[in-house]
């Protein structure tokens, strides 16, 4: 009898092991959040995106169209944490925040509160991880969270997979919440928060339907408690050459406003060093990279308009001018885009500590830029036009 009783108790104990589980369909998952600040109400606004993952299944009839059925809910609070909490009673199901993969800050929120204070609530909200991608935007937050790709899928967009586009066209490097909070308080370092824009009716189907898309367009440059400033891709064009994460970056070569060639710069390697020129910090930037010729418009009369060595020299000068131009544009707005102050701080700690309060960068700051480009691939035709007159090419 004793053994039988022990067996029954053991079986009952095993059967009750999953009593507190929750089925997936009984939960609502927040996949992205956006943070705004309402100046009139003096409250933060949280826009939470929820997606029906069931419709992503390739086995379901609806899922074959990739329709993720995105919904966006809005809640308010005096702090970010209270706004997050206030979204809970606005749903009919238990909320799960463990799948948040993107966070978007409005320009108003960035200007109102320092990132440290805003993200304090996110750090205390234990379900939100430190790995989501982070963005800034000037667009309507609900519209940003409602954008889908051409197949109606909310998951496979710039919001959730920015690295896919960055690897093909490297301009502004995507960053995560953890990286943002690591770089933000460091001495002399500015955060480049990618800016998301909406491109209206960018795609059109054979049935006349149109679709909007998200794309990264420039970045908010944020340093300390100073007001963030939004720079366009064109204004930040020199930043990509100093970014170690750059994979492929297009370079258009022009002469007298005419396009000479289009190159693809592959994985540039930048080295930045600093020294004291008397009492003035001086900097030296060296960039080495390989390049492929992507396009090479012909000369009107005879084949190629430039030799390899001429293209090499022109590409080196173009990159040099882009780096210089972006540096000066940042200085005009009071932003150290290349984090030169941080470079000096790391390489000359004692000197930096003596001039921390007086450290400045301006248009007269000594800045030496050296660029070396190696053209590895000229294309399938190997400068065929160099050897064949146009009259022969048209036969």
Two structure tokens written together for 381 = 């035709």
How much is the average pLDDT of 116-122?
Answer: 82
pLDDT at position 24: 56
Lowest-confidence pick of 59-63, 314-318, 374-378: 59-63
**Residues 149/213, Cβ–Cβ less than 8 Å:** yes
pLDDT at 336 over 80: yes
pLDDT band, residue 302 (cuts 50/70/90): very low
Q: Domains in the chain, ordered, with CATH?
A: 26-236 (no CATH), 243-395 (3.30.300.210)
Phi, psi of 242 (to 5 degrees): -105, 0
**Percentage of the chain lying above the pLDDT 70 cut:** 81
pLDDT at position 66: 45
pLDDT at position 128: 82
Closest by CA to 373, choosing from 253, 284, 258, is 253
How much is the average pLDDT of 87-95?
Answer: 80
Closest by CA to 134, choosing from 103, 165, 179, 88, is 103
How much is the average pLDDT of 344-363?
Answer: 91
How much is the average pLDDT of 346-354?
Answer: 92
Cα–Cα distance measured from residue 291 to residue 241, given in angstroms and rounded to the nearest whole number? 13
Neighbours of 362 (CB within 10 A): 8
Reported residue count of the chain is: 395
pLDDT at position 250: 93
Lowest-confidence pick of 112-126, 228-242, 308-322: 112-126
Cα–Cα distance measured from residue 157 to residue 155, given in angstroms and rounded to the nearest whole number? 6
pLDDT at 109 over 80: yes
How much is the average pLDDT of 93-110?
Answer: 89
**Residues 212/145, Cβ–Cβ less than 8 Å:** no
pLDDT band, residue 395 (cuts 50/70/90): very low
pLDDT at position 5: 59
pLDDT at position 341: 94
Closest by CA to 203, choosing from 193, 214, 194, is 214
Tens digits of per-residue pLDDT, 41-89?
A: 899 999 999 887 655 554 444 444 444 468 899 999 998 989 988 888 8
What is the helix (H) or strand (E) element at residue 252, kind and residue range?
A: strand 248-255
Question: What pTM was estimated for this model as a whole?
Answer: 0.84
Cα separations (Å) of 243 from 129, 330, 339, 343, 385? 26, 16, 11, 14, 35
Of the chain, the end-to-end C-alpha distance in Å amounts to 102
Two structure tokens written together for 378 = 């000229």
How much is the average pLDDT of 252-268?
Answer: 89
Cα–Cα distance measured from residue 153 to residue 163, given in angstroms and rounded to the nearest whole number? 18
Q: What is the dihedral sign for C-alpha 349, 354, 360, 366? A: negative
DSSP at 241: G
pLDDT band, residue 17 (cuts 50/70/90): low
């Amino acid at each position: 009898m004793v053994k039988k009783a022990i067996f029954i108790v053991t079986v009952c104990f095993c059967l009750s092991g999953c009593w507190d589980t929750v089925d997936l369909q009984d939960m609502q998952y927040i996949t992205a959040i956006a943070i705004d600040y309402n100046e009139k109400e003096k409250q933060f606004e949280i826009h939470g995106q929820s997606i029906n993952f069931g419709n992503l299944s390739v086995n379901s009839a609806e899922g074959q169209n990739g329709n993720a059925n995105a919904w966006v809910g809005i809640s308010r609070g005096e702090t970010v944490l209270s706004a997050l909490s206030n979204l809970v009673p606005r749903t009919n199901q238990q909320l799960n925040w463990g799948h948040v993969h993107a966070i978007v800050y409005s320009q108003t929120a960035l200007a109102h509160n320092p990132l440290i204070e805003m993200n304090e609530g996110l750090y205390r909200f234990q379900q939100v991880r430190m790995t989501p991608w982070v963005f800034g935007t000037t667009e309507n937050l609900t519209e940003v969270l409602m954008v889908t790709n051409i197949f109606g899928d909310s998951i496979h967009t710039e919001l959730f997979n920015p690295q896919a586009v960055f690897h093909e066209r490297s301009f502004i490097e995507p960053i995560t919440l953890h990286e943002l909070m690591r770089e933000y308080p460091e001495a002399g370092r500015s955060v480049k928060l990618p800016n998301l824009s909406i491109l209206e009716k960018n795609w059109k189907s054979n049935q006349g339907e149109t679709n909007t898309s998200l794309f990264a367009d420039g970045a908010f440059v944020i340093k300390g408690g100073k007001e963030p400033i939004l720079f366009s891709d064109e204004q930040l064009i020199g930043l990509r050459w100093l970014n170690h994460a750059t994979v492929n970056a297009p370079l258009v070569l022009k002469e007298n406003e005419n396009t000479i060639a289009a190159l693809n710069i592959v994985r540039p390697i930048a080295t930045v060093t600093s020294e004291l020129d008397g009492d003035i910090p001086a900097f030296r930037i060296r960039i080495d990279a390989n390049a492929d010729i992507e396009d090479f418009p012909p000369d009107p009369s005879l084949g190629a308009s430039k030799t390899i060595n001429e293209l090499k020299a022109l590409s080196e000068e173009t990159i040099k001018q882009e780096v210089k131009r972006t540096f000066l544009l940042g200085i005009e707005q009071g932003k150290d885009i290349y984090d030169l102050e941080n470079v000096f701080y790391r390489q000359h700690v004692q000197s930096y500590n003596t001039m921390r309060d007086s450290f400045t960068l301006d248009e007269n700051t000594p800045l030496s830029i050296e660029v070396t480009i190696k053209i590895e691939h000229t294309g399938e035709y190997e400068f065929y036009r160099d050897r064949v007159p146009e009259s022969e090419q048209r036969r």
